Structure 1
Amino acid sequence: MASNLRVQARLGQRTLLLTTTAAVPLTGWTVHALALHRRLAAAKKDPLTGLLRRDAYTARARQVLRRHGDDTVVVLVDQDHFKDVNDSLTHAAGDTVLRATADRLTAWAGQGSAVGRLGGDEFAAVLHLPRGRREVRLAQLVRMLRIPVVLEDGQAVDVAASVGAAALDVIGTRDLSVAQRAADAALYDGKHSGRAVLATRKHATAPSINGRRARRPGTAVWGRAA
Structure 2
Amino acid sequence: MSQVLTAVSAAGPLAAGWGVHSLWMRRRLSTARRDPLSGLWTRAAFEQRAARALVRGPHAVIVMDLDGFKQLNDTFGHAAGDEAIRTTATSLTTALAGLRGNVTARLGGDEFAAIVPAPDPVALPWLLCALHDAVCEPFSFRGQTLTVGASIGACLTAELPAGSLSLALRRADEAMYTAKRSGGGWRLADGPALTHTTTLGRRTGRPGTTGKEAMA
TM-score, length-normalised on structure 2? 0.87
Give the letter for the 1:59 counterpart: Q
| CA distance in 1 between partners of 2:146 and 2:200 (Å) | 31
Residue deviations 1:111-160 (CA, integer Å, cap 9, x gap): 31111111111100011122211221111111111101112x23211111
Indicate how the Cα distance of structure 1 residues 194 and 214 shifts in structure 2: closer, same or farther if over 3 A, else same: closer
SS of the residue 1:88 aligns to: helix
Give the letter for the 1:65 counterpart: L
| CA distance in 1 between partners of 2:203 and 2:136 (Å) | 24
Q: CA deviation at 1:183?
A: 0.7
Residues 1-226 of structure 1: matches in 2 within 5 Å? 17-69=6-58, 72-110=59-97, 111-129=100-118, 130-151=120-141, 153-170=142-159, 172-174=160-162, 175-191=164-180, 193-201=183-191, 204-217=194-207, 219-222=208-211
| CA distance in 1 between partners of 2:205 and 2:51 (Å) | 28
Give the letter for the 1:83 counterpart: K
| CA distance in 1 between partners of 2:199 and 2:81 (Å) | 29
State the structure with more CA Rg. Answer: 1
Indicate how the Cα distance of structure 1 residues 168 and 206 shifts in structure 2: closer, same or farther if over 3 A, else same: farther
Indicate how the Cα distance of structure 1 residues 147 and 222 shifts in structure 2: closer, same or farther if over 3 A, else same: same
Give the letter for the 1:77 counterpart: M
Residue deviations 1:169-218 (CA, integer Å, cap 9, x gap): 34x3341101111111111111062320111236633422342322423x
SS of the residue 1:201 aligns to: coil
| CA distance in 1 between partners of 2:138 and 2:186 (Å) | 18
Give the letter for the 2:75 counterpart: S
Determine if contact 2:152/2:176 at 8 Å carries over to the other structure. Answer: yes
Give the letter for the 2:189 counterpart: A
Structure richer in helix, relative to its length: 1
| CA distance in 2 between partners of 1:124 and 1:23 (Å) | 45
| CA distance in 2 between partners of 1:78 and 1:158 (Å) | 14
Determine if contact 1:74/1:126 at 8 Å carries over to the other structure. Answer: yes
Q: How many corresponding residue pairs? A: 207
TM-score, length-normalised on structure 1? 0.83
Give the letter for the 2:187 counterpart: V
| CA distance in 1 between partners of 2:193 and 2:35 (Å) | 29
Indicate how the Cα distance of structure 1 residues 57 and 145 shifts in structure 2: closer, same or farther if over 3 A, else same: same
Question: What's the Cα RMSD here?
Answer: 2.0
Indicate how the Cα distance of structure 1 residues 62 and 97 shifts in structure 2: closer, same or farther if over 3 A, else same: same
In structure 2, the gaps of 5 or more residues are: none
| CA distance in 2 between partners of 1:93 and 1:87 (Å) | 10
Give the letter for the 1:182 counterpart: R
